[in-house]
Structure 1
Amino acid sequence: MSGQLRVVMAQLDFLVGDIPGNTLKAIEAIDQASRLHQADIIVFPELTLTGYPPEDLLLRPSLQLRVEKAINDIKHAAKEVAVVIGYPWREEGGLYNVAGFVAEGEVVQLYRKQCLPNYQVFDEKRYFEAGTTPGVVDFKGIKIGLTVCEDIWQQGPVKQLADQGVELILNLNASPFHENKLGQRKELLCRQARDHNTPIVYVNLIGGQDELVFDGGSMVVDRTGKCVVNAPEYKSGLYPVDFECEKGCQPIPQVLHPELSLEERVYSALVLGVRDYVNKNGFKSIVLGLSGGIDSAVTLAVAVDAIGKDRAHAVMMPFKYTSNMSIEDAQEEAALLGVKYDVYSIEPMYDAFMKTLSEPFSGLAPDTTEENLQARCRGVLLMSLSNKFGSLVLTTGNKSEMAVGYSTLYGDMAGGFDVLKDVPKTLVYKLARYRNTISPVIPERVIERPPSAELAPDQVDQDSLPSYDELDHILYLYVECDYSADAIVAEGYEREVVERVIRLVDINEYKRRQAPIGVRITERGFGKDRRYPITSGWKAGE
């Protein structure tokens, strides 16, 4: 057995569908791992060559030809260092999610992922066939086992490798972030390593892909079940790990990177999600409506941290119900963040709409129609600025509002990306306070004042909604935990309030279907996670 082994964890950000670009990035990393780190093995994430999740790109007829070319290029690069890399591979009529072990210019082991996740945001059974055999390779006298993502969450593939007597398990991942995910991963890896007396190298993807964010957090767990090496969350890089392999194969511990707080973790996910969505889709800049409220303030702060102040444009669009406080606070926020800031009154266009509608509305009392019209005037302005200047419109609705439909279709929902879509209102306040610990960018009275859409005189959100503390917990139980109305009432809430909230969630599914995507930060966001019919007779009482 060899004395030492150096493994480099390639925690990198890849672009879905860009097989040539991803291959080039991988080859550059292989070169750096060899020259700068003197690596024996470099391990990449799951489906590196296509990015994750490639979704129906996997059905394209030309996929295999592109992957074959990419693998040939990887083979030529893998002369001085072994490469473990993920990609889709078609053979015998089936498509497999594979980990290839490339050494001395050849694929010496092709492991086919056995456990295909088909829950939450995953639907791999739509595309892949499941493998059945373990992937074991003898490298420099060390018996190494290969697994891909979900394999490590199940007993079968890991037990197979343990029965084969492997001394080290390499696990390739594309594990998306949610607020509790890092702890779940660590607990799982520690248990698997301890139960099977085998160290595990866990390499995770980083980056934003539509509503998903991959947070990295790659790590190494020794055979006793202790995490001894970890890569920082949300930071791309090559992270070397040394193993002592005279008696078994044990990782040499390193100083661990500190884990982030909940607020740091969520805020970092939002920043990364916005940055990659804007840049990967080729937007020059972003534009948003800055209302002087908490949601737009946090959204603007995230955007500036993601892409810089010079690429952000804030627009205040006052109406006669807009308070002086809101105008002052919006101006202060824009100044503190150093962004371009403009003020465009919506009164002239609102008046023009109302003049046109005066005949059909004659004799009818004002209601939410007039309130929604204000929001739609703002949506038209922002989308026009988007069209003219190539800016992405960021909407500012939070998860609490999206859940109960406290938003206007084609108004404040008009845009391309909703930063706070999966962030409950109570967490929005925590993120604002967290961001102010870095530098003061959100005025204190924006955080302290009662939230209001300012679509009517003296309007506040709590006129039509329960307190956000109460609302967010009811929504958590119903949306994320699937509690019935009876079960939520049993938690101590008034039945009338519970049934009203549930009804609002159910009847506003049609709005959410037309809403922009946004960063997923909970275990069940509105998007890939939760797919409810719009037309339904289901009653949630029991």
Structure 2
Amino acid sequence: MRIPAKDWKAVWELLASGIRERVLGSGFTDVVLGLSGGMDSALVAALAVDALGKEHVHGVMMPSPWSSEGSIADSEALAANLGMETFTVPIAPMMDAFDKALAPAFAGKGRDVTEENIQSRIRGVVLMSFSNKFGWLLLATGNKSELAAGYCTMYGDMCGALAPIADLYKTEVYKLAAWYNEREGSEVIPRNIFEKAPSAELRPGQTDQDSLPAYDVLDAILHALIEEARPAAEITLPGIGADEVERVAGLVRKSAFKRLQAAPLLPVGQHAFGVHVHM
């Protein structure tokens, strides 16, 4: 099953104008966001530059010991193409400080998602520090697929006063980014960002698909659950088993508490989060 095509020009204009209105209407002139080398932050950066002008958009790269050289290079290439200012704040020393401070309390416990979430939350603190110090509004870069499945960290990558693409599924994020490059007539968003496997890079070799179904599968199920409001038990999709549908529905149910604390989004469809989702 494919998610119905959108008018990407209209979506872009809606999101860009939404960013402009929300930022200026809140008394801000500038925004800041984390640049990870991934597609979500790349798209949000491009939208923000379109909405506010390159001189009003600031990116922060926060490499950890698990960050690939490619992700840093991709962030730098994106920022250069957009003409936006960037800062680099390595977070390894902060990760080490947390490890040492928590070691006595965590004695005998192995490393797990706790340390991964700490890494994300360190980045949230860094970004909020830039927001406070310079008076820049922080943009969250999460998408609808992540929010729906709970593949996000409260007080980490969910930090922000506005989440511009949180009503776009991950597969739609790629489509809108491709439309933008076509509009610009060049690879403003570098080709490598399109081609590499999505990853939060919270541990060595991690990809999103370690925790989630492939995004085309995930988004097809989410579309049926959310946009079509179909109960999980009634969803049948070609090539997707009932157990996978129930798994995704379970993720949506379990992560509802996170979405209650998500940054405000810019709705682009009929069923932005906040409406009832049938399970």
TM-score of Structure 1 vs Structure 2, range by shorter chain: over 0.9
Moved more, 370-379 or 430-439: 430-439
Match of 1:274? 19
Match of 1:391? 136
The Cα of 1:531 is off from its aligned counterpart by: 4.8
Paired AA for residue 221 in structure 2: I
RMSD: 1.5
SS at 2:64 equivalent: coil
1:412-464 superposed Cα distances (whole Å, 9 cap, x missing partner): 00111001100000110011111112323100010111100100111111111
Percent sequence identity is 47
1:496-529 superposed Cα distances (whole Å, 9 cap, x missing partner): 21111001101111100000011101110013xx
Match of 2:159? 414
Paired AA for residue 244 in structure 2: V
SS at 1:287 equivalent: strand
2 CA distance for matches of 1:474 and 1:433? 23
1 CA distance for matches of 2:239 and 2:233? 10
Deviating runs (4+, > 2 A) in structure 1?
489-493
The Cα of 1:325 is off from its aligned counterpart by: 0.2
Runs of at least 5 residues in structure 2 that lack an aligned partner in the other structure: none
Question: Relative to total residues, which structure has the larger strand share, 1 or 2?
Answer: 1
Equivalent of residue 219 in structure 2, options 464, 472, 477: 472
The Cα of 1:489 is off from its aligned counterpart by: 3.3
Equivalent of residue 520 in structure 1, options 267, 273, 277: 267
Higher relative contact order (CA 8 A, sep 6+): 2
Paired AA for residue 149 in structure 2: V
Paired AA for residue 203 in structure 2: A
Match of 2:248? 501
Match of 2:183? 438
1 CA distance for matches of 2:131 and 2:200? 23
2 CA distance for matches of 1:443 and 1:288? 18
The Cα of 1:492 is off from its aligned counterpart by: 5.2
> Are positions 1:459 and 2:200 aligned together?
no
SS at 2:48 equivalent: helix
Q: 1:324 and 1:416, CA in 2 relative to 1: closer, same or farther beyond 3 A?
A: same
Contact 2:233 2:246 in 1 (8 A): no
Match of 1:373? 118
1 CA distance for matches of 2:85 and 2:239? 47
Point out the structure with max Rg over C-alpha. 1
SS at 2:138 equivalent: strand
Contact 2:79 2:86 in 1 (8 A): yes
Give runs of aligned pairs for residues 32-111 of structure 1, distance below 5 A: none
Paired AA for residue 265 in structure 1: A
Match of 1:301? 46
Match of 2:77? 332
Question: Relative to total residues, which structure has the larger helix share, 1 or 2?
Answer: 2
Match of 1:343? 88
Equivalent of residue 322 in structure 1, options 63, 67, 73: 67
The Cα of 1:286 is off from its aligned counterpart by: 0.2
SS at 1:504 equivalent: helix
> Are positions 1:510 and 2:253 aligned together?
no
